[in-house]
């Protein structure tokens, strides 16, 4: 099945008053799409990267949201050159570097105005756990490596491109492919134990949220606006809940993707939709606990008493976990295409389309610090190590580490 999965649809949806593609690429109307100018911060936090490094070819032309995977004091990253690397989280030094997919120039894909090789490359970002690092590729490759040494343990294959990190659990490796299928694999050898197939709409936002699990069920957001809970052991459907209606006069109007990262609580899971709906759902039966007309394409960050979500306009919201009521909102980052929020101590951190990271006080939503990783966008969710170091990866493959800001 040919899937028209276009970032340009997201651009059109975000653009207030923009009705033509011409307006995006340089006429006067494009001014309305430009990211809001950054205002000087009064008494900013002292923000400085402890280390940076380039990881090879990134995914700038593919519209992906790759991010590092963290376990202990190690982090694992993959790139479009077909390599998986293990790095020391404290220094950025390479611990091992494995070429798992050979790339070449046998074919190409045009994405906007850029051309990219399509025979190989790792596009999903790695998942880690239980001694394994598992990464997916553009041609459906699934490769499991030994987390300690980088030695290959097994290979498997999905039915289409894997563009999100696999979920690694003791009982199953869960991999979703871009055609709507989800695969439950045996961690020992990669054999297929179950397949779930939901299909995808004709038009959707480019991206998939990674699966999450509570040990019994695995939860996935889908492009038709639903969250699906599958039994981890056998892939049977536990429940399905609609987060946002997929309706409208055309395919663009009907886009309702739940593509951002889900946030799993104690007895509830939180999801947000491209149609600006955020919902709290009971994990026991899939029933809605509350619904709020705030949300977007990125995922959620969960705190003890609140939920942090960004909307397509670039507003950052803090919602009460119990009922979804707004505690505060921050509107100074308009049209900056913010990432899923990350939590670093008392601060919320989001990346943007111009390569900036913004530190926002969780208590009141005030922007307290800023630094620019690179001129290329940050799309993947920043990650935080157990010791509090924040890691951000740009779409051109630059990785930067930031220690927790001094209070």
Within-domain flag for 125: yes
Tokens of 388: 């509090």
Within-domain flag for 37: no
Average pLDDT score over residue span 261-267: 93
Question: Which CATH number do you get for residue 76?
Answer: 2.130.10.10
Within-domain flag for 159: yes
Within-domain flag for 85: yes
Give tens-digit pLDDT for 141-184.
Answer: 999 999 999 999 999 999 988 988 999 999 999 999 988 899 99
Within-domain flag for 169: yes
Say what the pLDDT of residue 252 is: 52
Give tens-digit pLDDT for 18-41.
Answer: 333 333 344 555 667 899 999 999
Say what the pLDDT of residue 29 is: 53
Give tens-digit pLDDT for 291-346.
Answer: 999 988 888 999 999 999 999 899 999 999 999 999 999 999 999 999 999 999 99
Q: How many domains does the chain have?
A: 1
Cβ burial 28-44 (10 Å sphere, 16+ → b, else e): eeeeeeeeeebeebeee
Within-domain flag for 344: no
Within-domain flag for 94: yes
User: Residue 181's domain spans which residues?
Assistant: 58-108+117-197
Q: Mean pLDDT in the chain?
A: 83
Average pLDDT score over residue span 93-106: 78
Asked if 221 and 256 touch (Cβ cutoff 8 Å), the reply is: no
Say what the pLDDT of residue 179 is: 86
Tell me which of 71-85, 110-124, 333-347 is least confident: 110-124
What φ, ψ does residue 390 adopt, rounded to 5°? -95, 135
User: Who has greater pLDDT, 137 or 50?
Assistant: 50
Look up the pTM and report it. 0.85
Within-domain flag for 96: yes
Give tens-digit pLDDT for 245-261.
Answer: 666 555 555 555 788 88
């Amino acid at each position: 099945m040919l899937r028209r999965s276009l970032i340009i649809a997201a651009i059109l949806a975000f653009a207030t008053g923009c009705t033509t593609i011409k307006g995006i690429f340089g006429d006067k109307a494009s001014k309305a799409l430009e990211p809001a100018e950054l205002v000087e911060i009064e008494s900013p936090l002292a923000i400085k990267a402890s280390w940076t490094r380039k990881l090879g070819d990134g995914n700038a032309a593919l519209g992906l949201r790759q991010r590092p995977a963290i376990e202990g004091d190690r982090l694992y990253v993959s790139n479009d050159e077909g390599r998986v690397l293990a790095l020391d989280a404290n220094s950025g030094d390479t611990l091992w570097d494995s070429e798992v997919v050979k790339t070449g120039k046998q074919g190409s894909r045009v994405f906007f105005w850029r051309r990219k090789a399509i025979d190989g490359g790792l596009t999903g970002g790695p998942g880690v756990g239980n001694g394994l690092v598992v990464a997916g590729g553009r041609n459906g490759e699934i490769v499991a490596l030994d987390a300690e040494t980088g030695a290959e343990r097994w290979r498997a294959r999905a039915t289409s491109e894997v563009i999100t990190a696999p979920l690694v659990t003791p009982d199953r490796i869960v991999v979703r492919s871009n055609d709507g299928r989800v695969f439950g694999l045996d961690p020992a050898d990669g054999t297929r134990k179950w397949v779930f197939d939901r299909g995808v709409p004709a038009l959707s936002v480019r991206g998939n949220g990674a699966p999450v699990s509570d040990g019994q069920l695995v939860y996935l957001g889908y492009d038709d606006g639903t969250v699906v809970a599958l039994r981890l052991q056998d892939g049977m459907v536990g429940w399905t809940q609609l987060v946002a209606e997929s309706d409208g006069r055309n395919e663009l109007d009907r886009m309702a993707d739940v593509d951002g990262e889900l946030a799993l609580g104690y007895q509830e899971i939180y999801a947000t939709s491209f149609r600006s709906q955020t919902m709290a759902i009971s994990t026991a039966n899939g029933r809605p606990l509350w619904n709020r007309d705030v949300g977007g394409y990125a995922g959620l960050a969960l705190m003890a008493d609140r939920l942090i979500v960004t909307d397509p306009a670039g507003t950052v919201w803090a919602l009460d976990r119990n009922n979804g009521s707004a505690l505060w909102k921050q509107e100074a980052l308009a049209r900056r295409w913010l990432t899923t929020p990350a939590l670093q101590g008392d601060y919320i951190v989001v990346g943007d389309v111009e390569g900036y990271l913004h530190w926002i006080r969780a208590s009141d939503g005030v922007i307290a610090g800023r630094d620019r990783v690179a001129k290329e966008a940050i799309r993947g969710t920043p990650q935080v190590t157990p010791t509090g170091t924040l890691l951000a990866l740009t779409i051109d493959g630059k990785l930067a580490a930031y220690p927790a800001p001094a209070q």
